[in-house]
Amino acid sequence: MAEAILKDGNKISYEKGETGADVIGRISQGLLRNTLAVLVDGEPRDLSAPLPESGCSLLALTFEDEEGKKVYRHTAAHVMAQAVKRLYPAAKLTIGPAIENGFYYDFDVETPFTPEECEKIEAEMKKIIKEALPIERFELSRDEALKLMTEREEPYKVELIKELPEGETISFYKQGEYTDLCRGPHLGKTSDLKAVKITNVTGAYWRGDANNKMLQRVYGTAFPKQSELDAYITMIEEAKKRDHRKLGRELGLFAFRDEAPGFPFYLPKGMVLKNTLIDYWRSVHKKWGYVEISTPQIMKRTLWETSGHWDHYKENMYTTVIDGEDYAIKPMNCPGSILVYSLEPHSYRDLPLRYAELGHVHRHELSGALHGMFRVRCFTQDDAHILLAKEQIKDEVIRIASLFDEVYNLFGLPYKIELSTMPDDHIGTKEDWDAATGSLADAITAIGKTYTVNEGDGAFYGPKLDFHIKDCLGRTWQCGTIQLDFQLPGRFNLEYTGEDGEKHCPVMIHRVVFGSIERFTGVITEHFAGAFPTWLAPVQAVVLPISEKHTDYAEKVLETLTAAGIRAELDARNEKIGYRIRESQLQKIPYMLVVGDKEAADGTVAVRTRKGEDGGVLPVAEFAASLKKEIEDKN
């Protein structure tokens, strides 16, 4: 007999040869019906796999778990590959992983798949699901695996097998006539899949190398219920309408040009939006005790060698030579803050010292990774670097988390926190890392928040807390981060005089709340679908004279609004008033002020909102005061 340790710490005995399904079934038949695979000692396995004879930890994986979703969707990828092979036997298989929100499989075919062919593939997938084919795992030696894939004329699989170590046992999965090289795990039978859909097809180079052959990458997604799939498709359609790249052009916010790939152009209204975000950022940081600095964009190679970036991040840095010496354009702001700190001596009374910087940084991203404002090659990082004593860490992280909470609540963005721990490529001792990780965890617990652990994904210099915000469509975005650093201050020999009169090395906290102005702009553009809150809108009101004879009065209204600090425009084009109202609504302007004979005579404006609501007729001064208060209160 052996014992399995469950998630809640309880133990359950099992006999030799029993599987995860056997044990989960004894716990709860309802849980077994929802279990897709099991996590055995931290490794995902098939439900049908025998458990270790020596005992193990055991966790049921459902679709609610990320690992469970991967198992479900990777099985769907195999079903899609089987459908393709049935319909197009000459197609060559490559790889088909689960990805966020779905899966894909790359195929080598003579001609690209058409939308009509994708419909046929999806229909064949549904047939395979109805066939309820058992999904069976088997293992072969390296030579046997090569023989099998060679006989089946699958050259890409042969290439993958040849790269595996000599003597390694290689696993395959079989369902009906279809067999694929795969590590697994998978569902028990094809009918365990319930709702599938092919979502897109694109070209993709084998292994991402442009020197290799172009393949057909077919994307799909899968859910346990048709209603969940339908909701996801609806969300995708809504996301297309909210695409910040599309809205950025339509609303005159920002643009991208082939002459500068990955480098955004801010248009006039986009600059208003950016500066409004920055003004708010500055006010929040002043309130929370930060001082703003600005550091050079280009600094010597020796600085980046000391910081560790030259060794750990050089492939992402732009470099140049000045006066015969190597320099780098900064990809991060932290070394500049360190140099500022080192300009003068400090004592414990100065700490925590909070430097805030809207630093313009550059990073060399691969062209294929660029994506609108979400992934660019230059951006304004809303950084802060805090130098403090070790005993101040918990209180300071609590302060930072409270600042984050204030900011995200203003934009209506709920969030979850993820604690990332020590990666393989790190600097510093395990003891320092353990202390740093514990400090972050304690601080988050102290403010009543919860977190999940992301093993091995910390920065090379320390663990971090990532804040994943959720937009109105339920999508998550990693924006804020708090990174604890025991390493860089020591590398730069930073010190402060302690209360004991001795010299001590401070700790550094790296943190951003927006992540970058560019990325956050993209997120909130999609979150609000371009209909920004009034305080943030580039144009807050537009004055619309009914005809040319009302233009003089409209100009006086505009002057009143502008004098009150309201961002207003006049639209006196020779177009019908209905057309101009519609145009203003399409531009997402919060308020439209229509003026005609009666309004000019009474000193009023007829108010309409961008939602088409009638705001009534108000005296100009009263409307201006009300709008000014709405802007100041950031309602």
**Catalytic residue IDs:** 334, 363, 381, 383, 385, 464, 510
For the packed helices 430-446 and 393-410, what is the interaxial angle rounded to 10 degrees? 50
- Tell me how far apart the alpha carbons of residues 25 and 35 are, in angstroms, rounded to a whole number: 10
Torsion of CA 11, 16, 19, 24, to 10 degrees: -30
- Tell me how far apart the alpha carbons of residues 220 and 196 are, in angstroms, rounded to a whole number: 7
- Tell me how far apart the alpha carbons of residues 89 and 525 are, in angstroms, rounded to a whole number: 45
Half-sphere exposure of 297 (CA within 13 A, CB side): 12
- Tell me how far apart the alpha carbons of residues 273 and 276 are, in angstroms, rounded to a whole number: 5
Contact residues for 187 (Cβ-Cβ < 8 A; gap 6+):
36, 37, 71, 72, 75, 135, 193
Beta carbons of 101 and 111 less than 8 angstroms apart: no
Q: Taking every pair of C-alpha atoms in the chain, what is the biggest distance, in angstroms?
A: 94
63 membership: H or E segment, kind and range: none
Beta strands in 37-79 (DSSP E): 37-40, 43-45, 56-61
The pair of three-digit structure tokens given for residue 93, joined into one six-digit string: 């298989």
3-state secondary structure 394-414: HHHHHHHHHHHHHHHHHCCCC
Query: Do β-strands 541-545 and 591-595 pair in parallel, antiparallel, or remain unpaired?
Result: parallel
- Tell me how far apart the alpha carbons of residues 19 and 42 are, in angstroms, rounded to a whole number: 16
- Tell me how far apart the alpha carbons of residues 374 and 254 are, in angstroms, rounded to a whole number: 13
Alpha helices in 260-361 (DSSP H): 268-287, 301-307, 309-312, 334-341
Instruction: Tell the residue number behind the tokens 């459902």, with chain if given.
Output: 62
Residue 353: how many other CB atoms lie within 10 Å:
18
- Tell me how far apart the alpha carbons of residues 463 and 452 are, in angstroms, rounded to a whole number: 13
Instruction: Tell the residue number behind the tokens 């130098």, with chain if given.
Output: 387
Phi and psi at 504, nearest 5°, equal -130, 155
3-state secondary structure 145-214: HHHHHHHCCCHHHHHHHHCCCCCCCEEEEEECCEEEECCCCCCCEHHHCCEEEEEEEEEEEHHHCCCCCE
Burial tier of 410 (Cβ tally within 10 Å: 0-12, 13-18, 19+): middle
Buried b (16+ CB within 10 A) or exposed e, 162-195: eeeeeeeebebbbbeebbbbbebbbbbbbebbeb
Beta carbons of 200 and 121 less than 8 angstroms apart: no
Query: Do β-strands 318-322 and 92-93 pair in parallel, antiparallel, or remain unpaired?
Result: unpaired
- Tell me how far apart the alpha carbons of residues 75 and 21 are, in angstroms, rounded to a whole number: 18
Peptide bond into 261 cis (omega under 30): no
